[in-house]
Structures are given as C-alpha cells and as structure tokens.
Structure 1
Amino acid sequence: MRSLKIMLLSSAFNGLTQRAWLDLRQSGHVPSVVLFTDDATVCRQIEASAADLVICPFLKDRVPQQLWSNPDRPVVIIHPGIVGDRGASALDWAITEQVRRWGVTALQAVEEMDAGPIWSTCEFDMPTDVRKSELYNGPVSDAAIYCIRDVVEKFASGFVPTPLDYTQPSVIGRLQPNMKQADRTFSWYDCARFIKRSIDAADGQPGVLANLAGGQYYLYDAHLDSRRGTPGEILAVQDDAVLVAAGDHSLWIGALKRKAQPGEETFKLPARHVLAGQLADIPVLNSSIASQAFNEAVYQPIRYRESAHVGELTFEFYNGAMSTEQCRRLGAALRWAKARDTQVLLIKGGRGSFSNGVHLNVIQAAEVPGLEAWANIQAIDDVCQELLTARQLVVSGLTGSAGAGGVMLALAADIVFARAGVVLNPHYKTMGLYGSEYWTYSLPRAVGSEVAHKLTEECLPVSAFQARQWGMIQDIGPRCPREFNLWLLQQAGSALTDERYALHRARKVDRDVEQIERCRENELAQMQLDMVHNRQQFAEKCRNFVFKRKTCQTPQRLIAPWALELKAALVD
C-alpha cells in the first residue's frame, strides 16, 4: 500500500488519538494532526493540506459542511458505538443499560451526526463493572485502532462505504439522547451496585451530581464495600476516599468536584481534600500494607502479596496522578516491601494509567501551588529513590499508559515490562518543567544520551513497540489486563536467571550511588526555578490543564512536514 497523507482531526491529542498517530506511522503512513479550534481555522488547515483522508478519532465538535461535503477527501468519524448507535453519550448508555456486546463504528461524516455510511465496525464483549474511562481506553481503543487500519486499507483500494440502513436486522443500534444528570440520578437508599454503575457510566466526565455531607458534589472513582450504615452517612475515611453508606452496603468515593456557583469554576480533587472540614469525627482506617492482607475485591489503592521469591506491590491512583501524600504512602509501602525476605520486587499499576507523575489538581488547589508542587516533586523523587536503592532486583510493569514522571518512575526499576498498546510520554517540557524523578540518570541509562535528548525535547508519544526498540522497556506482554498480570508475574519470577536480563542484573551491581544523587540534586535545582519561581510558565500551564482550557492552535510538533510545507506556501 502506498504511504498516505492522513489528517487526524481531534478535539484533543488524547490517548486514542496518540495511539492512532503512532499506529499509522508504524504502518508507513504520514499522519498529521489538527486540533479543533474553530470551524474557519480547521477548514483552512485541512483544505490547504491536500490530505488524502481525514480521520476523527476523538471529536466532540461537529464537522463543518465545507469538509464533509468534499467528495474527493472522505472525513471518517470513529464513533464509540455499534452500527446504528448515534449520539454523544454512547458509552454512558452502554454501561448504564448493561449491554452484553458493544463496539466501535467508523462512519463517513454527513450533515446528520453519526448517520453517515459505514466504513468499518468492530464489536467486543462488554466487560462487567467497567468504568467509562476504562472502557474507552481498553476495548473501545482497541476496536478503534482496528477500524482505523481497516478504513485506511479500504480507502487505498477504492472502497465505497455502505449506507446506514435501519431496516437491516443486523443494525440494532439506535439514536440515543445525550445523557443528562436526570438520567444518572440515584438515591443513597438505592443498592450500592446501582450507584456504582451510575458513577462508572459518568467516570471522567461529567460525574454524577449527588448530595453528600450537606452539599452537592459530582462523584467519581467508586468502589464497593460490604459495610453498612444509614444511607448517605459517611462511615469512614481511608487514604483519599470516604466510605458512604447505601441502601444495602456502601461505597468508597475517591474523588469529588464541588458544584460550581454562577461564574465559578471547580475541578476534581481527592474526596478527603474536598470534605476536609467535615471529617473531624469520622474514623480513619489504617491502610498500611503491613496490616492489610492482599484482596482485589476491596478498596486497596496500595496492595502487596508474595509469590515464591517475588514481592508484588500494586499501586492504583485515580487517573495516574500522584499527590504528595500518595507518594509518601507509596514510599512507606516500598520501604516495608524492601525489608521482606524476597529476591525480586515487582511494582505495577492497577487499572487505568500506570502513573502520570505529580498531581496537578492538588497542586492547583493548594494555597501556594508552587510550594505544593515543590513538595510533590520531592515526594515522588523519594519513591524513585526507594526503587533505585532496593536490595532486590526491581521489575516494573506498565499496566497502562504513563506520562512525564510516571514514565521515569517505571524506569527507576532494573527491568521494565509493558502491556501491549500502552503509550508513553517521556517528557516534561510541554508543562513548563525541566523534569525530575532521576530522569537524567534513568533515561540515558536505558536509551543513551542522544535518544534521551530527542525524547525529552521533541515531546512526542512513544509506543510500546518503539520503547522496546530503544531499550526503555525489555519486553511487551499481552493486551488483556488479566493475561498481562499473569505474564508479568511469570517474567518477574524468572528475571533472576533469564540470560536476557544478565546486563540489567550486572548494571544494578555496578550502580554509582553518588552519581544518582548528583542527578537528583541537579534536577531539583532546575525544578525549583520552574515550580517555585515559574521560570517557564508552569503555573499558567498547570492552571490551563486543570481547568481544561481549549487549545488555541495545534502544536507545531504534531504537524507533519507535508502539512507544514503547504501551510508555508499559503503564507508566501
């Protein structure tokens, strides 16, 4: 197949758009990105680019008529629903209605939203008890990549898409209204599973508005618990979550967003932070891994178990963000695990992101954000230090995608494995930061100084496949989370004797502790300038991220040379 000029039109360069961009490049094509700003700008950019094909992996905005009416350059929407499904709340309804099968459909943009002819579709069995973000970043993302590959192949062969025909018995999807808060509402007297499903269906955005502790909050990050109490009553606090009684049992709620007053903006924060003034008399449970047996069925953000000579420590922080307190809890857990009589220490994420580094929302909410950022970066450095100084051979498992300090945290291990399909963003510059987490030691150690410079300066995503080629990771495991966890434990169990990792074992023995600490000191000197003194506008970039300010233009690094050349020609 000839190399195609493919334009990715997206509302954000999110995880799916990044996967699509990486996959198309790996297939020999030349994708370029246009982030949706306004109709006129988007039309001008795409019309001028001479793209062969436009694919929209994640688009909240309506495609302008000027684009979809061009018969020579199809605009294909990747819709997270089965054939015939239409509307912006596809995944919300699928989770709420507990459908057994779901899918992704690639359809051509026309005047009526999601009603265009079909290019491709891919279905999957719907997981049970799944969050919207987990569904989107897992089965939906996988099915979307299949559809994008299929669309590109069909376009190259002159395929004509099939009109959507609701008279066909195979077309069972229907137009669904946008889900409103009235469709999500629940009573605390409802059963806990129903409440959890309501929250899961709104995970990420927009959350479920509910009354709690005398106020109105949007709820996120729900986990079932067997304890009972008066419905709506807060029963306990553990780590960042509060335990709320329901009609039968109870739920841990990990994150809240206060309902905004007119003219006000609010954002998600750990539940304990939001309700801090109302929890004085609420029991605080001990979450130490030394006192809690490993149990995947209960709420345990940090959990530990042993298998033969391997100690396995799992940490699961909502959206991969790690606050100062979370880092300190993880550091304490690592110190305890390091004191165990094991030979291998396996650290891994849970569901969702592995880690994205410091917690920007908690930083933004602080009285002095720069000082909270400074405390946060030192706390996550301490976590990395625990890994770098472990007696055991340290293995890290990238169960989900990772960014910035989260990538470097994984690289602090001696051996790194990744689940197929994860995307890494090993850079800090776009947030106005020099970077820490011992990156000036761990990244060059893994990939060499030249590639390390390229990765941190170009600020582009890296696929698991690329990361293995460069030496950032040592191997790639199954895409299925359960299969990956089994595979990962097997790899960790054999890491002490497998000849493939002899160099990594030797490198651990020869590590230069003084050099490692010099790297930290130098990085923190730079980070103090960025976080406390705002050298590169970190404060403004953090605020824009937290309040989800829409981009003013597509970053130059995402525009392919062929699109840049035509843009320059127009200017001339």
Structure 2
Amino acid sequence: MRSLNIILLSSAFNGLSQRAWLELRELGHSPSVVLFTDEEAVCEQIEQSGADLVICPFLKDRVPQLLWSNRDRPVVIIHPGIVGDRGASALDWAITRELTRWGVTALQAVEDMDAGPVWSTCEFNLPQGLRKSELYNGPVSDAAIRCIRDVVDKFIDGYEPVPVEHHPRVMGHLQPNMNQADRTFGWHDCSRFIKRCIDAADGQPGVLASLAGGQYYVYDAHLDSRSGTPGDILAVRDDAVLVATGDHSVWIGSMRRKPRPGEETFKRPARHVLAAQLNNVPILHGSIASSPDTETYQPIRYRESGTVGELTFEFYNGAMSTEQCQRLVTALRWAKTRDTQVLLIKGGRGSFSNGVHLNVIQAAEAPGLEAWANIQAIDDVCEEMLSARQLVVSGLTGSAGAGGVMLALAADIVFARADIVLNPHYKTMGLYGSEYWTYSLPRAVGPRMAEKLCEECLPVSATHAMQLGMVQEIGPRCPDAFGRWLLQRAGNALTDPAYAAVRERKSRLDTQLMQHCRNAELAAMELDMVHDRKQFAEKCRHFVFKRKACGTPVRLVAQWARQRSRTQPLAAAT
C-alpha cells in the first residue's frame, strides 16, 4: 500500500485527533499535525508542506479558501453527523431529540460548511443516557476512525467523492447552532428531561440555570429518587449538590458561575462553587460498602465477586482533586481489609484519570500550595495500591494522561479497553512528575524507554502500550463488555501461569526503593509547583482558561513537514 504524507488540521490535539494520528501511523502513513492558529500561518504551513492529503478530525474554524480550492490535495472534514447533517451542534441536537441512530460523515471542504461532497460515512445505534463527551469519545470517535481509514484507502485508489445531493443515504439537514434558549429547562421539569438538557451541553457550553439565588452553567448530572420543592438544594455528597425537580431530583457535580462583563469563569466542583451557600444543607456521607445504586451520585463504588474486590472511581473529566484523592485513599484502605485476593481498581464511564485537578488548583487562594497538596494526595493513592496485600489489577476503562497513567501502573497488572489513548508524560505542563513514576514506569518498560516516553511527550495507543509492557492485555471496546471481561480476567489472574512472575515480584517489593523514588519526585515537584521553576502556573492557567495555542508543538510536526515549511512558528515546549 502506498504510504501518504497526511496533515491533520485541528483546533486542538484532542482525543480524536490523537487517535487519528496513532491510527495513521500504525497503518504505515506519516501524519503531521497543524493546529489552527491564524489563517495565513495555517495556509502557509500546509501549502509548503507538500502533503498528499489534509484531514480535519476536530476543526471548529472555517477552512480557508486557499486550502479547500486546491483540488489536487483535498481537505476532508470529519463531521459528527449523518449524511446531509450540517451545523456545529450536531451531537447536541441528537441527544436532545433522543435519536436512536446517528453517524459520522467525511466531507470534502468547500465554501459552505459541511456542504461538500461525501467521501465516507459510518452510522451507529445511538445509546441513550450518554452525555455529549461520552458520545463523542465513544461511538462518534469509533465511527470517525473508520471514516478516516476509508478516506485514505479511497484517496489512494483515486476515488471521486459523491456530491451530497446525489448521495443515496441523505437523511440529515442544515441545523441551527443550538443556543441557551434551546437548552433551557426549569427545575419543575422532570429529572430525565433536565439530565438530557445537561448531557447535551456537556463540556461546552453547559446549561445556564438559576440555583441558590445565582446564575450558573451546570454539568455532570446524575438522577436520584429523592424529592422536594423544585429548585431547592436537598443535600451535598462529596463534590455534588442534590437539586429537587418536578418529580424527583438531580445531582449536579460541576458548575461554572455566569461571568460578569469582561470576566472569565471556569468549571469547578459544585460544592466549591456554592461554598457558604451550603452551610445549612444536609451532608450525605454514604458508604462504599453499600450496594451501588444506578440512580444516585456515587463516584466511588465497591462490590465483591468471589475472590475479587472491585473498586470503581469515577471523577468528572478524569481530574482528581486533593479531597477526591483522600476519599479514594480511605476507600482503598477499607477495601484492603476485605477477605479478597484480587483488588480491581477501575475507572467509570469517561476518562480513567488525568492526574491532579488543574481547575481546583487554579481556583485556590495559593495555587502552588494546592498543587503541592494535590500531588501528595495522589501519591498516597498510588502508595495504597503498591502496598496492597492483594494482587492489584488496574482496569483502564478510558484514556489516561500524566499522573493518571502512572496511577494505573502502580498496579501489579494493567488491563486496557481497546483503542484508548495514553499520554505518559508531564513535561508539557512544566512538571517533573510524581505518582511513583520513576519506580513504576521503568519497572514496566525499562529505564531507557521510560525516559523516552517522558521526553517525547507523544500519545501511545493501547496496542503499542501492550507491546511496550505498560499494558498486559486489551479487552473489548464496548464499555459493558469490557466491564464483564475485566472482572473475569482479574479473577483468573490469580492462577494464570502468565502472571506467575508478577505474583513472585509482588512478594519481594523493594519498599526502600519505592520511598526513595517518591521522595526524589516530590523534591522536584516542589520546585515545579511551589517555586514555579518551569512555568507550571502559566501553563495551568492557559489550560484552565482554554487559551488557544500560539503554534503547533514541534513534537507533532513530522520531519517531512518540517523540511518543507521553514517559516511557520512552532511551539517547542507545549
């Protein structure tokens, strides 16, 4: 098969862009990334690169005419909608209208957005009850990757895309951009309707709602059977608040205060945002030992199946604050006292973990000190895993980054869901890293590869991670099927001959080396977080406020694109 030089033009190197980059490399092609900064710079870099093909997996900007008018080098947009669907709110409308079938379409860029001829399309059954980020990172991303593969194959074969009006499967139409008036709800509405409104606006922009005398964008909704006066806050649990609705109630896990003119605000745990307004609200503590209830907010859950104790933690967007880590430590310590032989630590529906909670850090009175407390708390989580009597298994239910990857590696065995993406590095945030990475990562991949992964700062596919030794087995892509497979494999690992060496290694842990690694890492992290030696404070602020990149990081630009494009600014360290 002919190998192509492919530009991935994207507004950000997000999860789908990373999957596309990894997929193309594994297919033998040479992808290079261009982040959309300003039109002139983007056009110059792409036109001078000599790329065969441009694919846009995640592009919020309009493709410049200079690029889409070049018929010898097509620009293909990956649109999260069925054939004929147009507009920036495709997934929002699909969730809001409770559609049962949806799709992804690969379209050639033309003057009108999402109106070009069709290269490929892939449809799927639309699961109910998913928030937009789960839909995007799950079925949509899977369909998008299939479309990208198809586009590349067709381009090599000289395929001519079909004008949308002539396509045999046109079902969509032009849809307006969804605004707050389309998303609005009242607390007198039923809980399921409210949750659906919030799910459809997950990530961005959120739904504006009146609560506790203020205006807030709300996120991370969970149903509950309790009831009360609609709009009243009934209870607080961990980071979430329980709000009464027209029939029952809804937990709200994250919020963002409506900004005043000229002000910027960002998402934080709901309890943090409302703070003193919750002084007289009952606090529900709950117990992980109780049977998990599918209709309540229970971010840390535990169940037992034979010799396996399964501890699930589900933190919004994979961010782990100091308090969340402390709760997880408490849960781990309790789980370790149980009469089980295997301790399975797994994520929930979204990301497995992305390490410390940068939004909570940014909101703190002294961000550096909060970061310092946060990193010590997540280290404590890893210590509990490393010191467990039981055989510890990590279940990577979703993608992971930075400290989240290293947390998973603190287990004796790591199982991953197919097609997740790992980012085992800290450098782009100006951090040395902790979570016992200098112990766990070399143990998994060897010292040289550990250094390479941390210095290159590139994503790693589940398949490559298994080849390197970071992951021992890969399970089904379907979340429900993976959960069943994971529990079975965790139980079997206790007697599986393939893991005899792992069980033997566990019996002779070098606790002195582990402590030395932690101490050395924290000494470096104190310089990074408290004394800001590598601009962590600025990088954290840029991440939280979603500042646009000033250029494409050099590490994402392929050698062939660097040689042809000398004048485009590149961001060396981001």
Q: Which amino acid aligns with 1:207?
A: G
Equivalent of 1:479 in 469, 477, 492: 477
Task: Note if contact 1:218-1:256 (Cα within 8 Å) is conserved in structure 2.
Answer: yes
Decide which of 461, 465, 478 is 1:463's aligned counterpart.
461
Letter in 1 for 2:460: V
1:201 to 2:189 alignment: no
Provide the alpha-carbon RMSD of the alignment.
1.0
Please report how far the alpha carbon of residue 569 of structure 1 lies from its aligned counterpart in structure 2 after TM superposition.
8.8
The alignment's TM-score, normalised by the length of structure 2, stands at 0.98
What are the equivalent positions in structure 2 for 1:104-183 lying under 5 Å apart?
Answer: 104-165=104-165, 170-183=169-182
Q: Deviations over 1:310-366 (max 9, x none)?
A: 000000000000000000000000000000000000000000000000000000000
The equivalent of 1:220 in structure 2 is 219
Q: SS where residue 251 of structure 1 aligns?
A: strand
Distance 2:168 2:150 in 1: 23
- Residue matched to 1:386: 384
SS of 2:164's equivalent? coil
User: 1:275 is paired with a residue of what secondary structure?
Assistant: helix
Other-structure match for 2:281: 282
Q: How does 1:339-358 map to 2 (within 5 A)?
A: 339-358=337-356
Q: What number of residue pairs does the alignment pair up?
A: 569
Find the residue that maps to 1:376 and give its secondary structure: helix
Deviation at 1:294, TM superposition (A): 2.3
Contact kept, 8 Å, 2:222 with 2:295, in 1: the verdict is: no
Q: Which amino acid aligns with 2:252?
A: I
Give per-residue Cα distances to partners, 1:11-33, cap 9 Å, x unaligned.
Answer: 00000000000000000000000
In the alignment, is the contact (CA less than 8 A) between 1:226 and 1:249 conserved in 2? yes
1:27-426 → structure 2 map (5 Å cutoff): 27-165=27-165, 170-290=169-289, 292-426=290-424
Corresponding residue SS for 2:552? coil
Distance in structure 2 (CA, Å) of the matches to 1:417 and 1:569:
44
* Inter-partner Cα distance in structure 2 for 1:404 and 1:546: 16
SS of equivalent residue, structure 2 residue 165: coil
CA distance in 2, matches of 1:307, 1:351: 20
Query: Match of 1:125, as an amino acid?
Result: N
- Where in structure 1 do 4 or more consecutive aligned residues deviate above 3 Å? 568-571
Question: Contact 1:239 / 1:287 at 8 angstroms: preserved in 2?
Answer: no
Unaligned runs of 5+ in 2: 570-574
Residue 297 of structure 1 and its aligned partner are, at CA, apart by 3.4
Which residue number in structure 2 is paired with residue 547 of structure 1? Answer: 545
Retained in 1: the 8 A contact 2:225–2:295?
no
TM-aligned CA deviation for residue 568 of structure 1: 3.5
Change (3 A) 1:570 1:37: closer
**Deviation of residue 570 (structure 1)?**
9.3
Supply the AA of the counterpart residue of 1:40: E
2: CA distance, partners of 1:436 / 1:430: 14
Query: In structure 1, which of residues 520, 523, 526 is the aligned counterpart of residue 521 of structure 2?
Result: 523
- Aligned equivalents of 1:287 and 1:79: distance in 2? 43
SS at match of 1:165: helix
What is the deviation of 1:296?
A: 3.1
Partner of 1:19: 19
Deviation at 1:567, TM superposition (A): 1.8
Q: Contact 1:288 / 1:333 at 8 angstroms: preserved in 2?
A: no
**Quick one: structure 1 residues 206 and 569, their matched pair in 2 at CA, closer, same or farther if it must change by over 3 Å?**
closer
> What is the alpha-carbon distance in structure 2 between the residues aligned to residue 483 and residue 366 of structure 1?
40
The answer to whether the 8 A contact 1:34-1:559 is kept is yes
**Conserved 8 A contact 1:431-1:538:** yes
- Between the aligned partners of 2:221 and 2:419, the Cα distance in structure 1 is 26
Q: Secondary structure at the match of 1:87?
A: coil
Give 1:295 shift. Answer: 2.7
**Unaligned 5+ residue runs, structure 1?**
none
CA distance in 2, matches of 1:313, 1:238: 18
Give the structure 1 partner of residue 491 of structure 2. Answer: 493
> Aligned partners of 2:260 and 2:561: how far apart in 1?
43
1:169 offset after TM fit, Å? 6.7
Distance across 1 between alignment mates of 2:55 and 2:498: 40
Deviations 1:455-507 (A, max 9, x none): 00000000000000000000000000000000000100100110111121111
Matching residue within 431, 434, 437 for 1:436: 434
Matched letter for residue 3 of structure 1: S
2:536, 2:386 → 1: CA distance? 28
**What code does the residue aligned with 2:330 have?**
A
Q: Is the contact made by 1:192 and 1:251 (CA closer than 8 Å) also made in structure 2?
A: yes
What SS does the aligned partner of 2:85 have? coil
Match of 1:507 in 2: 505
Distance in 2 (CA, whole Å) between partners of 1:78 and 1:123 is 13
CA contact (8 A) 1:15 1:423 kept: yes
From the superposition, tell whether residues 23 and 491 of structure 1 become closer, same or farther in structure 2 (CA, over 3 Å). same
- Tell me, yes or no, if the aligned pair for 2:44 and 2:568 is still in contact at 8 Å: no
Rounded to whole Å, the distance in 1 between the matches of 2:258 and 2:229 is: 24
Q: Answer yes or no: is the 8 Å Cα contact 1:103–1:124 preserved in 2.
A: yes
Q: What is the CA–CA distance in structure 2 between the aligned matches of 1:464 and 1:524, rounded to whole Å? A: 29
Amino acid at match of 2:406: M
Query: Offset of 1:98 from its aligned partner?
Result: 0.7
Distance across 2 between alignment mates of 1:99 and 1:498? 44
Equivalent AA in structure 1 for residue 196 of structure 2: R
Separation in 2 of the partners of 1:503 and 1:105? 47
CA distance in 1, matches of 2:398, 2:271: 25
Identity of aligned residues (%): 76
What residue identity is the alignment partner of 2:462? Answer: A
CA contact (8 A) 2:251 2:296 kept: no
- Give the Cα separation in 2 of the matches to 1:215 and 1:569: 49
Structure 1 residue 511: Cα displacement: 1.2
TM-score by length of 1: 0.99
Distance in 1, Cα, partners of 2:16 & 2:396: 17
User: How far did 1:111 drift?
Assistant: 0.2
SS of residue paired to 2:113: coil
